[in-house]
Amino acid sequence: MRRRSLLTSSVLLVAWLSEAVAQEAQGVAALADTKVALDTLWTLLCAFLVMFMALGFAMLESGFCRAKNTVNILAKNLVVFAITAIAFLAVGWGLMFGDGTGFIGLKGVWFLSGPDNSPATGEAYRGVYGAIAWTGIPLAAKFLFQMVFAATAATIVSGAVAERIRFSAFLLFSTLMAGLLYPITGHWIWGGGWLQQRGMLDFAGSTVVHSVGGWAALAGALLLGPRLGKYTPEGRVQAIPGHSLTSATIGVFVLWFGWFGFNPGSTMAADWRLIGHIAATTNTAAAAATLSATATAWVLLGKPDFAMILNGAIAGLVAITAPCAFVSLGSAFFIGLGAGILVVLAVLFFDRIRVDDPVGAISVHLVCGAYGTLCVGLFAEPAVNPAVTTAGLFFGGGSTLFGVQLLGVVAVGAFTFLSSLVGWSLIKGLVGLRVPPEEELEGLDRGEHGNLAYPDFALVTTGREVTVPRPAPPVAAPVAATAQPAAAARGPQPSSRRPPLRPEAPRSPAGFQHRPFTLVVHGVDKRALKAVWEQLCYDYPAKTPKAFNELYPHVVTVGEQTFTFRQGDPLLYREAVERLLRDYGLETAQVEVTA
């Protein structure tokens, strides 16, 4: 009896222990599932924040540019996101994260088609995307997060080529950027490539995202050339103000907010030890850069230029993107201070060497992206993040890490710039890069899209049309519509005969000389007027008269028979335009001024 009782007790004990072990295993599995769920949720929320930054770039770029190009800029920023989503899905992801050589990924290239057992990590991972198997989230979540980063790199290019690039050319280059150029250099640093093997650190993409976008933008800006009127014939820089600093400010606030997804989200896990620290270093650098850019602009320009302040904030965010997880809060402060100073100097430098960048994208993303990457080699501390195996130069680690960072900056810059030059050149031969001069002056909204961002908006000074009086000119017979286009086809040339004008043109009151105004041309055929104006634009500045060179930089928009100027003496400009048109064969031209 006692034996039976003992046997029963043993069986019950074994059953109880088995159930306890099973329950414990289920608990462990449940905890693992909970961690995967939390990590996935965190990564996706941050991806959504980074996607929201596309609105910030659109607002910033459109605000820094003229109203007549707003639709074009908004369209570029929207469509480039769609292009990147498809191009990175189709081929970019595999080239960047697929197993392959130190130069490029070769496996699982097309449409995430490679084998993958995510969210398994480490030795448990079985698949062809081993370079990103360190994060325990599903493959689709990994892709979405990395795709919005690729879209950011492609978007950066838009600002530097704004206000003169063909829409089709930009879309073609965006496809090349998202599908090939960005993934190749991304593979080098984040995809297990040769720079990652050498120990290069770029936590969230100062080089992978921002410098790559900046180098591609520089190549495009050089091939496009400056906007019409940006530089005088003597080489002086002519400011071309944007139409809305309000929009630009909203854009900067959106970007600053979105960066809390960009940098902390790059943990791709709800890592409580890092995400708070990264958010704090990100904010500190941005704030410090805003203040140092303000002070630098105040000293160099005599006033705290607000556009410089806005770019200073973005410069600090770009610079801290690489070192945000590797440096202390104090180091982040000094990194931000340097970025704010550097971006102001860079904007002035590129203006001086005649690289026209309407929004300062090259200065912000290329220059400050490279600077931030190098700062990892100066300020990195193993105490902040165990992933740092070698301290930066300022913390006793010697020049080893700095040397690797410098190699990465140079290698990525050289490859991206040269390959972008080739890409832009091929596109130029295929569809052309730049819109015609008359379309650039009229605005890309109408010429490229047939839309206007502000159809009810007009340049006015008093809320009503004002006509500046002038003596009534003699009525002349209109120029024959058939003869004028024939002359235009030969290319209008200045006439040796100068019809007499008034001996001395009256001057406008001083108050009228700092307001926008419009000149309206009467008495000539529209096609002939267009031909003359196109000829003057193509000849500018080397072959055009001095009078044209003086007034041309102030032209804002050109209509069929209208020329709108941002400022100047309306009466003197009327006389100058009338004389130019008559010199070029439009002898019956009569010009009126409206404001």
Q: What is the CATH number of the domain that holds 132?
A: 1.10.3430.10
Mean pLDDT along residues 297-303: 95
pLDDT at 462: 32
Taking alpha carbons only, the member of 154, 229, 116 closest to residue 420 is 154
Q: Give 425's contacts (C-beta < 8 A, 6+ positions apart).
A: 223
Please indicate, yes or no, whether residues 393 and 524 belong to a single structural domain of this protein: no
Residue 34 maps to a domain: yes
Give the percent of the chain with pLDDT over 70.
84
pLDDT at 480: 38
In total, the chain counts a number of residues equal to: 595
Beta bridge partners, 521, equal: 591
- Which of 322-326, 393-397, 525-529 has the highest average model confidence (pLDDT)? 322-326
**Omega into 541 within 30° of 0, i.e. cis?**
yes
Question: What 3-state DSSP class applies to 227?
Answer: coil
Whose tokens are 């997060």? That residue is: 145
User: 507 pLDDT band (50/70/90 cuts)?
Assistant: low
Mean pLDDT along residues 297-313: 95
Q: Residue 40 above 80 pLDDT?
A: yes
Domain end call among 448, 475, 493 = 448
* Range in 244-248, 381-385, 531-535 the model is least confident about: 531-535
Q: Residue 510 above 70 pLDDT?
A: no
Q: Residue 527 above 90 pLDDT?
A: no
Q: How far is CA 381 from CA 264, 329, 376, 584, in A?
A: 18, 11, 9, 69
Mean pLDDT along residues 342-349: 96
Please indicate, yes or no, whether residues 230 and 121 belong to a single structural domain of this protein: yes
Please indicate, yes or no, whether residues 517 and 386 belong to a single structural domain of this protein: no
Please indicate, yes or no, whether residues 516 and 430 belong to a single structural domain of this protein: no
R_g over Cα of the chain: 30
Round to whole Å and give the CA distance between 149 and 587: 58
**How many structural domains compose the chain?**
2
Please indicate, yes or no, whether residues 44 and 94 belong to a single structural domain of this protein: yes
Beta bridge partners, 590, equal: 522
Beta bridge partners, 519, equal: 563, 593
DSSP state of 568: S
Please indicate, yes or no, whether residues 275 and 228 belong to a single structural domain of this protein: yes
Which tens digits make up the pLDDT trace of 196-242? 999 999 999 999 999 999 999 999 999 999 998 888 777 788 888 89
Q: Report the 10 Å Cβ neighbour count for 474.
A: 6
pLDDT at 461: 33
Residue 16 maps to a domain: no
pLDDT at 177: 96
Q: Give 63's contacts (C-beta < 8 A, 6+ positions apart).
A: 242, 243, 244, 245, 246, 247, 248, 249, 250, 251
Please indicate, yes or no, whether residues 360 and 228 belong to a single structural domain of this protein: yes
Of residues 335 and 515, the one with the higher pLDDT is 335
Of residues 321 and 439, the one with the higher pLDDT is 321
Give the angle subtended at the CA of 149 by the CAs of 376 and 45, to the nearest 5°: 105
Of residues 139 and 459, the one with the higher pLDDT is 139
Lateral strand order in the sheet of 517-522: 555-558, 562-565, 517-522, 590-594
Q: Which domain holds residue 136?
A: 26-448
User: 474 pLDDT band (50/70/90 cuts)?
Assistant: very low
Residue 87 maps to a domain: yes
Q: How far is CA 471 from CA 184, 587, 592, in A?
A: 67, 18, 11
User: Which helix (H) or strand (E) is 417 found in, with range?
Assistant: helix 400-431
Q: Give 232's contacts (C-beta < 8 A, 6+ positions apart).
A: 238, 541, 549, 553
* Range in 188-197, 255-264, 319-328, 494-503 the model is least confident about: 494-503
Please indicate, yes or no, whether residues 137 and 264 belong to a single structural domain of this protein: yes
Residue 477 maps to a domain: no
Which tens digits make up the pLDDT trace of 55-70? 999 999 999 999 999 9
Is the alpha carbon torsion for 210, 212, 214, 216 positive or negative? Answer: negative
Which tens digits make up the pLDDT trace of 112-169? 988 988 888 888 889 899 989 998 899 999 999 999 999 999 999 999 999 999 999 9
Strands 562-565 and 555-558: antiparallel
Domain end call among 448, 475, 494 = 448
Whose tokens are 């608990």? That residue is: 27
Residue 295 maps to a domain: yes
User: Which helix (H) or strand (E) is 572 found in, with range?
Assistant: helix 570-583
Q: Residue 25 above 80 pLDDT?
A: no
Please indicate, yes or no, whether residues 175 and 307 belong to a single structural domain of this protein: yes
Half-sphere CA count of 475, side-chain side, radius 13 A: 0
Domain end call among 448, 473, 495 = 448
Would you give the end-to-end CA distance of the chain in angstroms? 115
pLDDT at 551: 77
Q: How far is CA 374 from CA 102, 139, 278, 282, in A?
A: 22, 31, 18, 16
pLDDT at 464: 33
Half-sphere CA count of 462, side-chain side, radius 13 A: 8
Q: What is the dihedral of CA 473, 478, 483, 484, to 10 degrees?
A: 50
pLDDT at 71: 95
User: Which helix (H) or strand (E) is 306 found in, with range?
Assistant: helix 306-321
Question: Structure pTM?
Answer: 0.77
Mean pLDDT along residues 260-284: 94
The token pair that represents 129 in the structure block: 């995307």
Please indicate, yes or no, whether residues 179 and 128 belong to a single structural domain of this protein: yes
Mean pLDDT along residues 496-524: 60
Residue 305 maps to a domain: yes
Q: What is the CATH number of the domain that holds 537?
A: 3.30.70
* Range in 252-266, 505-519, 571-585 the model is least confident about: 505-519
User: 176 pLDDT band (50/70/90 cuts)?
Assistant: very high
Q: Report the 10 Å Cβ neighbour count for 300.
A: 14
Q: Give 237's contacts (C-beta < 8 A, 6+ positions apart).
A: 230, 231, 351, 352
Residue 333 maps to a domain: yes
Please indicate, yes or no, whether residues 441 and 568 belong to a single structural domain of this protein: no
Q: Residue 12 above 80 pLDDT?
A: no
Q: Report the 10 Å Cβ neighbour count for 462.
A: 8
Residue 527 maps to a domain: yes
Q: Give 17's contacts (C-beta < 8 A, 6+ positions apart).
A: none
Which tens digits make up the pLDDT trace of 96-112? 999 999 999 999 899 99
Please indicate, yes or no, whether residues 586 and 489 belong to a single structural domain of this protein: yes
Taking alpha carbons only, the member of 461, 463, 444, 445 closest to residue 453 is 445
Give the percent of the chain with pLDDT over 90.
58
Q: Residue 15 above 80 pLDDT?
A: no
DSSP state of 364: I
Q: What is the mean pLDDT of the chain?
A: 85
Taking alpha carbons only, the member of 491, 586, 588, 480 closest to residue 534 is 491
